[in-house]
Amino acid sequence: MATPLNILLIGGSGFVSGTLARLAVSRGHTVSAVTRGQRALPAGVTPVIADRKDSAAFAAAIQQAGSHWDLVVDCIGYGPEDAQQDVEIFRERTSHLVFISTDFVYAPDKRRFPQAEDDADYLDHSYGGKKREAELVLAGADTGTMRWTVLRPCHIYGPGSLLGCLPEHGRDPQLIERLRQGETLRLVGGGHYLQQPILAADLAQTILSCAGNAAAHGQICNVSGPTIVESWQYYQIIADILGVPLAVEELSVADYLRANPDRASFFCHRIYDLSRLADCGLHVPATPLADGLRGHVESLL
Ligand SMILES: NC(=O)c1ccc[n+]([C@@H]2O[C@H](COP(=O)([O-])OP(=O)(O)OC[C@H]3O[C@@H](n4cnc5c(N)ncnc54)[C@H](OP(=O)(O)O)[C@@H]3O)[C@@H](O)[C@H]2O)c1
């Protein structure tokens, strides 16, 4: 087993953060997690209760936890103020900070295929834009001896979340039921947009691989799964696992966007150049989509 690490997660009972916490504990690491205490933490995780939006309470809770961490992972940073808080609070308290960003930083109408981290146009004034602002805070900060890495996952799937990667069946709690009943799925653009979903457990491995990795310092990396599919094929795989046929009705992208302008980031091909991830020596996700989805479906049955 690798050397046990002292790890702190911001978040820890959610989908991504809970998956990460479970993996870290299973590998023998000492894991603490900051949450507001509204959901149970995975077994073996030490709670640190604070609302990160209450800066004073957050600082006091970290001070009281009173440790130096080999790795701090901000699973729930959504804007520049969160990244600023990470730098201020953890600069002297951790060897390596990992910040979870998103592929929605890339402007959907200006993508390259595959999309690399540089040579990108970025969104502003949105979920993705705020994540990009957070990345820029880290990139511009004096982080002292604290290393940092930003990861940009695309659609994340796996046990602990709902199935579905595209409107109108994104994270659809009824998806299995609908497929079993022979309902026609309504996919925007017919589900022809390419995706490269990442299994949460694979992402968790990539996050842990940042610890102690000097080559990952100051890097912003795409992170996606090994399988590229049209979005409808994601649903086809699920239908095949259930042993039912798939029927899809195509919804107009233009009509959907008129009604939901804030969801534009879904409507582009989301495929990524992962060479930087590999060059940094970070874990490159390897679970084929069909295998990952089988486990995801089984977790919901
Ligand atoms: N899902 C995707 O496809 C996707 C794609 C790209 C990137 N991402 C990124 O992945 C991350 C999602 O993480 P997740 O799945 O763990 O999120 P989540 O399921 O929403 O869970 C949030 C976690 O943070 C805690 N929390 C929430 N607000 C808090 C606060 N103010 N102070 C302290 N703790 C707080 C929650 O516990 P309490 O409620 O008890 O506080 C919980 O443990 C995000 O950064 C997201 O942008 C997701």
Atom 24 (ligand 1): residue with closest C-alpha?
Answer: 11
* Domain spans in the chain, listed from the N-terminal domain onward: 6-157+198-224+271-285
CA of residue 252 to ligand 1 center, whole Å: 31
Answer whether residue 1 shows pLDDT above 70.
no
Q: Computed over its alpha carbons, how large is the radius of gyration of the chain?
A: 19
Closest CA to 52 of 12, 97, 92: 12
Give me the CATH code for the 6-157+198-224+271-285 domain, please: 3.40.50.720
DSSP string, 177-234: HHHHTTPPEEEEGGG-SEE--EEHHHHHHHHHTTTT-GGGTTEEEEE--S--EEHHHH
Asked whether the bond before 114 is cis by omega within 30 degrees of 0, the reply is: yes
67 confidence band (pLDDT: 50, 70, 90): confident
Provide residues with CB under 6 Å of ligand 1: 11-17, 34-39, 51-53, 75-76, 100, 102, 153, 155-156
Give CA separation, 248 vs 87, 181, 256, in Å.
47, 14, 16
**Cα 17 to Cα 73: distance, rounded to the nearest angstrom:** 9
CA of residue 91 to ligand 1 center, whole Å: 22
Q: What is the mean pLDDT of residues 159-173?
A: 98
CA of residue 299 to ligand 1 center, whole Å: 20
State which amino acid sits at residue 234.
Y
**For the segment 272-286, what is each residue's pLDDT rounded down to a tens digit?**
999 999 999 999 999
Select from 72, 76, 97, 270 the residue to mutate for testing ligand 1; criterion: most ligand atoms less than 8 Å from CB: 76
